[in-house]
A and B are shown apart, each in its own frame.
Chain A
């Protein structure tokens, strides 16, 4: 996969992990559009992430994709694109 394909791939996974958690998500149509648009971005904070949601996010990545990530690693990349970029780099 090229770098950008791999980024988009991981971005899709991040969106799936967000969709799987009913406690977090976009709070307006504008935010939803920005979340779905790879040229846009959305911070985890505005999506409503707290420590429990971070833990669920990590668990989802491990159960669904076999990728072990920790809350600490996610906190350092606190937006959808930052996370997707890091996951793409790590997987490469």
Chain B
């Protein structure tokens, strides 16, 4: 059987032809329609001069349009990168340059780094529209998507995935085989919803695309018969808070997935008691796809467990020198999956560090129990996770250091039961350094990854080797010293 991305998507479109692929406020678009519109849009984009192999940026916040463009680019064989509308323009420009974007698909925007193609969705939707028959089929090993994330060294990392890797990650996802309606109440221009919506479209799941307040989520899940609800930890917490209100309980039979960071035991217990028991905790990475999933009956026994590795996943716990450790001993987690990335774009040093010997070793720590359950232990480095967004201190510090009057600085997390890690910044400033202005300076350059508070200090706490002790700053923040 042809298992290429395109063949898999076409198979889904044929097998599920009359089932909705996307449901939004406009109504439903069935799989037959999705396949046909994406194909015509691919041909239309080709007609605009976009050629297979050229990198395309997408700046579209409309859910349906973003997904149609995304699928069209996969068909055309153009690697795609999201240049999110919510990011500062400077960041979009830098990212477009890094990824060598040839054209941006989106609304007209003066700040775009490349020629803008405003997609004509009417042409794509019309039955007499262009056809993709003449377009070559992309190679399995051609680049399909460039996902981006925060990097340890302060510059963002770009994760290229090939067509083959995208489809393997889509297939290995921890969802029972078959069909169903998936709902991820977060915008498509964020990494987590984007990758899952693509996986769903390729493998024949229905994506519900509705923006809603937390209080409306249970009603929406009931009305549309949602099968899979994927939440960030903060969204899960909000659903716990409102569970006592009228109509604020999720329907029985829904499967809830929470991932993106460490999910504390008390949050799991509260969700199961006050919302629904069917809570799954997922563990995965953009580099590898899903790795493990903890089933609803596992949380009581393993409050920090993220489940057994999925079929096809090899997972080991090793010491700092790469030697495997016995069960129940915490060490570094390393992983191999069939659809894993091979490295980062234009960053050999980071690739060598994160992919030693063909494994993916993210810096997450954990232990495997005797019966094969992965228990998450934390991070080996200083990465912060704000809701589902990964932020490395170096990324913030690099920006802050370019601000007038900053002599020394250190980013660190305020640990929050609601948001995970709230990034803060301690600054040693020259006389007259405007710390208030520094917050908006960071905000303009870092968007959601900016520090939420800047604290002026006479000096930073350092250990005898001169390394900043972020833990001490976090402890002082937790005591309320920096309010």
Chain A positions near chain B (C-beta within 8 angstroms): 22, 51-52, 55-56, 58-60, 62-66, 68-73, 75-76
Contacts and interface: CB of A to CB of B under 8 A. Distances in A.
Nearest to B214: A72
A58 B419 contact: yes
Contacts, number: 66
B452 interface: yes
Given A70-B234, A70-B237, A76-B215, A22 B440 contact: yes
Given A65-B483, A71-B214, A75-B214, A60 B452 contact: yes
Given A63-B422, A68-B417, A73-B242, 16 more contacts: A22-B440, A59-B416, A62-B416, A62-B419, A62-B422, A63-B424, A66-B480, A70-B237, A70-B241, A71-B234, A71-B238, A72-B214, A72-B237, A72-B239, A72-B240, A75-B215
Interface of B: 86, 211, 213-215, 234-235, 237-242, 245, 387, 414, 416-419, 422, 424, 440, 443, 448, 452-453, 480, 482-483
B187 to A, nearest CB: 8
A63 to B, nearest CB: 5
15 contacts: A51-B211, A52-B86, A59-B416, A62-B419, A64-B453, A66-B480, A68-B416, A68-B418, A69-B418, A70-B238, A70-B418, A71-B235, A72-B239, A75-B213, A76-B242
Interface-central residue, A59, A65, A68, A72, by most chain B CB under 10 Å: A72
A63 B241 CA distance: 20
Contacts of B242: 72-73, 75-76
Contact of A63 (B213, B215, B245, B453): B453
A92 B482 CA distance: 23
Question: Which secondary structure dominates where chain B touches chain A?
Answer: mixed
* 9 A-B pairs with least C-beta separation: A72-B238, A72-B241, A72-B214, A72-B242, A63-B453, A70-B238, A75-B213, A73-B241, A75-B215
B86 A63 contact: no
Contacts of B240: 72
Contacts of A73: 238, 241-242
B209 to A, nearest CB: 15
A48 to B, nearest CB: 14
Contacts of A56: 452
| Residue picked from A22, A58, A62, A64, most chain B C-beta under 10 Å | A62
A43 B265 CA distance: 35
Contacts of A66: 480, 483
Contacts of A68: 416-418
Contacts of B241: 70, 72-73
A52 B232 CA distance: 13
A72 B417 contact: no
